[in-house]
Amino acid sequence: METSHIFNITEIPRSSYRPLNLEFYGGDITSVFSDVLLTSAFQGNFYPTPNTILGRINERFGIHFSNLPENATRLGDRLFDFGSPTTSSYKRLWVLEISQLGNREGRSTDLYKSIKSLEKLNEVIDYLGVKSISIPLLGTGAQGLSIEESAMSLISVVIKWAQNSSSLETVRVFAYNLQAAAKLNQLIDTFFGHEQKQPSSTSVELLKASKQELKEKIGGFHEQLRHNLDEVSNLLDSPNPSVKSIAVAGRNLAETCSENLLNIWFPEEDASELNLNERIQMIQDKIRKEKSWMLSYFRLLQSSGNIGAHSSRQVLDLVDATAIVIAVLRIAEYTSDHIKNYLN
């Protein structure tokens, strides 16, 4: 089963209630539970096409929406509520009809209007007692909306919900992969005023050197680490890399490496049930006896990943990115050697 990783959290203040958490994820939307999963489809077309949310739901849970069920509730002009069956991903599935299949002319305007219509849902949200909603970047698949258009429309909708809904506590927005997440992260920082500082030529060159070392060595690391390393490498290849996304990808690698080391040294423990801090605490004595400085690399990836996942006033720059990549390299080397020795 695919997983997802949180890469940004923003609090939207509201006068009468505690702040609404706006969380951003990269990966599989069905891997995190929310009261409502809200997705989109072409008008009248609920077929579970592969690589769509409806397709993923059908793949995981065997639920098929090829035809609109008789018991579906219409919440708005284009929004339907499939209230059951409840799954481990959601209690209710809401599907927004975006536009007619094949109707390309004026589609962007139609998509925008459809997403904006969600602003009026606050009464329904409160009536049903909805506390959390998961939403993909609506309209960015076959419907053709750009990440920027979808993200800005959704953020506008969520701000309206925050202002008018008393029950809603958390909205989770999902990008389909880490590259889309990196682009989304930049948009979030710009929208909420957390832009990165202009990098110096020295910091650019330092990052370039660490990026080159990663490219040269990535093929020699154990395959269990390759996915996380590819994520870091792909982010570094983007024209204007998001340091926050690099930090989150680095933390993801630290989680994978700590889990592997824990499985080697403490096979009786279920590493998947522990968070990164708990894993580091369990393996730190072993690491100290071998290479004590390796703990600093783990802690660096842990702390920078925490900063990267929150829209705080603390900004990560290219010097931080270089330190993250170096920590990624050293931890990957250390863990890869232990995995190979263990398997031999």
User: 150-186, pLDDT tens digit by residue?
Assistant: 887 888 888 889 888 999 999 999 987 766 777 777 6
Q: Are residues 140 and 239 in the same domain?
A: no
User: Which residue shows structure tokens 């990549």?
Assistant: 325
Within a domain: residue 300?
yes
User: Of 163, 191, 219, which residue sits at a domain end?
Assistant: 191
Per the structure, how many domains does the chain have? 2
**Amino acid 192: pLDDT:** 66
**Bridge partners, 41 (sequence order):** 97
pLDDT (average), residues 15-32 = 85
- Within-domain flag for 140: yes
Residue finishing a domain among 142, 171, 191: 191
pLDDT above 50 for 102: no
**Shared-domain flag, residues 186 and 205:** no
Q: Which of 191, 222, 250 is the last residue of a domain?
A: 191
Closest CA to 186 of 141, 235, 244, 126: 244
Name the residue among 327, 330, 331, 319 with its Cα closest to residue 207. 319
Residues 214, 185, single domain; the answer is no
Residues 220 and 319 in one domain: yes
Which pLDDT score is estimated for 292? 81
pTM: 0.60
**Residues 77 and 130 occupy one common structural domain:** yes
State the residue for tokens 């006068």. 15
- Residue 214's pLDDT is 93
CATH number, position 305:
1.20.120
Task: From 178, 317, 302, 176, select the one nearest 234 (Cα to Cα).
Answer: 178
* Position 326 in a domain: yes
- Shared domain check, 205 and 187: no
Specify the CATH number for the domain of residue 15: 3.40.220.10
Instruction: Note whether residue 196 is domain-resident.
Output: no
Q: Quick: pLDDT tens for 281-332.
A: 999 999 988 988 888 889 889 988 888 777 556 677 777 888 899 999 999 9
Q: What's CA 94's distance to the chain center, in Å?
A: 20
